[in-house]
Structure formats: structure tokens, C-alpha cells
Amino acid sequence: MAICVLCHQRKGKRFCPAVYNVICPTCCGTHRLKKLNCPSSCPYLRQAKAIEMAQRESEWARRNLERAEIEQRLTAFALEEAISTFASEHPDLTDAEVITALQAVQDAVEREVMSGINHEPNAEGRAKELALKILKNAQTMRRRIGIPHNVLLARVARLLSQKAMLLSQRNRDGKGYLRALLVDIKPNSLEQLLDRLSAPQTRS
Ligand SMILES: [Zn+2]
């Protein structure tokens, strides 16, 4: 087999259209589009481009996934702050009412996504009151920092109602979720968070 015309060391396994001679894979990879003026038709260039682009796209997707996770956490905070605040005003509130409210929020938002028309949460009494408060918090956050969009809002309402059901089942008194929530999320703390998030970046 011929020797690579670039390094004169390794076997020239690839026909290089740029030098119009055989080169080795190492020189091909090292000098591609740098020292070598590779034509787009070169199959080795095409293959390398395809691999590189796929890597870059997956890096980009990973970055976006991180952003999606942050948005989801902020949205969950907005919803749970509404519940925490409401619970501090109604000490006899139960997990069941919270679950009903979250499910009503999810349902209303999903209907809005499907139809483009605003829907009232379908619940009664205190659960409805809480559902409206949750929606109001989501709207406040959206106005201030641009999230959540409705698809995310519906998703987070669903995840939180599942979380509440799980934590509620672990306790006989039907307040396992609310107890854990009040430890994690201070009532009336949304404004403080939004102020911090929307403050202009200052150097001190
Ligand atoms: Zn070589």
C-alpha cells in the first residue's frame, strides 16, 4: 500500500481530493479544512461534518434541557408558594383540597392549550379559591419573567398533584404534603424571588 503523501510515515488509506493523492486517516483528520482545502464532495469531510454537527446539536439540546429544568423549578415554586400562602391563611386546609385545586388548574390550562380559550378551573369552594390563587401566581410570574407558558404550567400542576398524592398517602391525617410544603416554601415569598430574578444585573 502507498505511503501517505503528507506525513510519509503511515499508510495512505484515503484518496484525498485536495492533494489528489493518498493520505492517512490521521493526516486527513488533522489537516481537514485547515491545511487542506477540502471540497464539499469529499466523503470523509461529509462524514466528519455529520458527526460534528450531531455532537453540537446534542450539546445544544442538553443546554436547553437545563434551561427547561430551571423553568420547571421556578414554575413549581410559583404554584407551591400560592398553596403555602393559602395554607397559612387556612390552617385547616387538607391535602385533598390542594390536590383537587391542582387538578382543576391542570385541567383548565390544558383546555386553554387545546382551544385557545380561557377556562375557569372546575372546582368548588376553597379548592376553587386555591386554584384561582395558583393561576394568579403563575400569571404574576409570567408577567415578570416570561414563564411559564401554558404547556409548562399544566405539566407542573400535574407533577405537583402527583407529588401531593404521594406525600399525602404516607400520613394518616391527610396533611403530609402540606406539612412538607410549609417547611420548604415560605408563605408570601414569591415577590421576593421575582424581585431578585428580574433585578437588573449590577456590579458591586
Ligand atoms: Zn499522513
pLDDT tens, position by position, 129-145: 999 999 999 999 999 99
Q: Does a structural domain hold residue 141?
A: yes
Residue 89 reports pLDDT greater than 90? yes
How far away, in angstroms, is 13 Cα from ligand 1 center?
9
Q: Does a structural domain hold residue 149?
A: yes
Condensed to tens digits (0 to 9), the pLDDT of residues 6-45 reads 999 999 999 999 999 999 999 999 999 888 988 878 999 8
Q: What is the average pLDDT score of the chain?
A: 91
Residue 59 reports pLDDT greater than 90? no
Q: Would the pTM count as exceeding 0.85? A: no
How far away, in angstroms, is 19 Cα from ligand 1 center?
12
Residue type, 204: S
How far away, in angstroms, is 8 Cα from ligand 1 center?
6
Helix 150-169 vs helix 43-89: crossing angle, to nearest 10: 60
Q: Does a structural domain hold residue 46?
A: no
Own/partner contacts of 50-57, CB < 8 Å, gap of 24 or more, are: none
How far away, in angstroms, is 52 Cα from ligand 1 center?
21
Q: Does a structural domain hold residue 28?
A: no
Q: Does a structural domain hold residue 93?
A: yes
Number of domains observed in the structure of the chain: 1
Poorest-confidence range of 47-56, 131-140, 172-181, 189-198? 47-56
Q: Does a structural domain hold residue 70?
A: yes
How far away, in angstroms, is 36 Cα from ligand 1 center?
12
Which residues place a Cβ less than 5 A from the ion ligand 1?
4, 6-7, 10, 24, 27
Whether 76 and 141 have beta carbons less than 8 Å apart is answered as no
Cis status of the peptide bond prior to 148, with omega within 30 of 0: yes
Q: Does a structural domain hold residue 59?
A: no
Structural domain for 125, as ranges = 65-196
Buried b (16+ CB within 10 A) or exposed e, 65-88: eeeeeebbebbbbbbbbbbbbbbe
Residue 61 reports pLDDT greater than 80? no
How far away, in angstroms, is 55 Cα from ligand 1 center?
26
Strands 14-16, 21-23: pairing kind = antiparallel
Q: What residues have CB less than 8 Å from 30, skipping those under 6 apart?
A: none
Question: Which residue has 410544603 as its cell numbers?
Answer: 181
Q: Does a structural domain hold residue 12?
A: no
